[in-house]
């Protein structure tokens, strides 16, 4: 387990470095990072790339601004797609929440908006915190209290990811 945790931590560090680099580029006001919300390890699943591609397409339909850069990362922290934008970060957060809440499978992904000042929270838009995959209570509360078995949470996340249509991959 220690080896897995080291890989997860190393993967998070790699993502943070990519984020910092992209946010330092001229004309970039925020990033969209879409990743899988998979409890336990490993942090990736076979349907991961397809789901992230589909989620990115769904975001593009809602937000309608083209990213200047798209980077795909797959490491110990799992799979993620990171996009850089210049423009309306709050509007992008609204679109990201619509993806997470508007599709059955949306609870099994994280669509984060990251600015130079840090990630934008749901509370900024007056939204409730993310809901638990199992019971619908606040996800952070359930996680802190270890209210559910990790294997059951993981199985539910994978079940939700499999709801993404196979034949309708977005570019």
- For residue 171, being part of any structural domain is answered with no
Q: What average pLDDT does the chain have?
A: 92
**Which CATH number does the domain housing residue 131 bear?**
3.30.70
Structural domain total, the chain = 1
- For residue 18, being part of any structural domain is answered with yes
What is the extent of the structural domain holding 30? 2-161
Distance, CA of 41 to CA of 75 (rounded, Å): 12
Checking if the pLDDT of 20 tops 90, the result is yes
Q: Which residues contact 145 (CB under 8 A, 6 or more apart)?
A: none
Query: What length is written for the chain?
Result: 171
Distance, CA of 110 to CA of 96 (rounded, Å): 8
Looking at residues 136-158, what average pLDDT do you find? 92
Between 153 and 167, whose confidence is greater? 153
- For residue 167, being part of any structural domain is answered with no
- For residue 134, being part of any structural domain is answered with yes
- For residue 61, being part of any structural domain is answered with yes
119 DSSP β-pair partners = 114
Looking at residue 112, its pLDDT comes to 97
Helix runs in the chain, H state only:
2-23, 48-63, 89-102, 139-145, 150-161
**What are 131-141's pLDDT values in tens digits?**
998 998 888 99
User: Is residue 161 a contact partner of residue 51, using CB atoms and an 8 Å limit?
Assistant: yes
- For residue 49, being part of any structural domain is answered with yes
Looking at residue 169, its pLDDT comes to 46
Q: Which residues contact 56 (CB under 8 A, 6 or more apart)?
A: 34, 70, 81, 83, 170
- For residue 15, being part of any structural domain is answered with yes
Confidence band (pLDDT; 50, 70, 90) for 167?
Answer: low
User: Is residue 12 a contact partner of residue 41, using CB atoms and an 8 Å limit?
Assistant: no
Checking if the pLDDT of 168 tops 80, the result is no
For residue 115, say if its preceding peptide bond is cis, omega within 30 degrees of 0: no
**What are 92-126's pLDDT values in tens digits?**
999 999 999 999 999 999 999 999 999 999 998 99
- For residue 105, being part of any structural domain is answered with yes
């Amino acid at each position: 387990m220690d080896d897995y945790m080291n890989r997860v931590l190393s993967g998070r560090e790699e993502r943070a470095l990519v984020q910092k680099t992209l946010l330092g580029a001229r004309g970039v006001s925020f990033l969209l990072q879409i990743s899988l919300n998979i409890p336990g390890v490993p942090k990736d699943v076979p349907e991961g790339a397809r789901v992230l591609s589909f989620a990115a397409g769904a975001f593009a339909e809602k937000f309608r601004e083209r990213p200047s850069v798209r980077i795909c990362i797959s490491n110990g922290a799992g799979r993620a797609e990171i996009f850089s934008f210049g423009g309306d970060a709050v509007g992008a957060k609204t679109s990201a929440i619509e993806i997470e809440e508007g599709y059955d499978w949306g609870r099994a992904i994280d669509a984060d908006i990251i600015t130079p000042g840090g990630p934008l929270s749901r509370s900024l838009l007056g939204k409730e915190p993310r809901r638990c995959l199992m019971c619908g209570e606040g996800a952070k509360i359930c996680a802190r209290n270890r209210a559910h078995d990790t294997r059951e949470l993981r199985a539910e996340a994978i079940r939700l990811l499999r709801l993404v249509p196979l034949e309708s991959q977005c570019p």
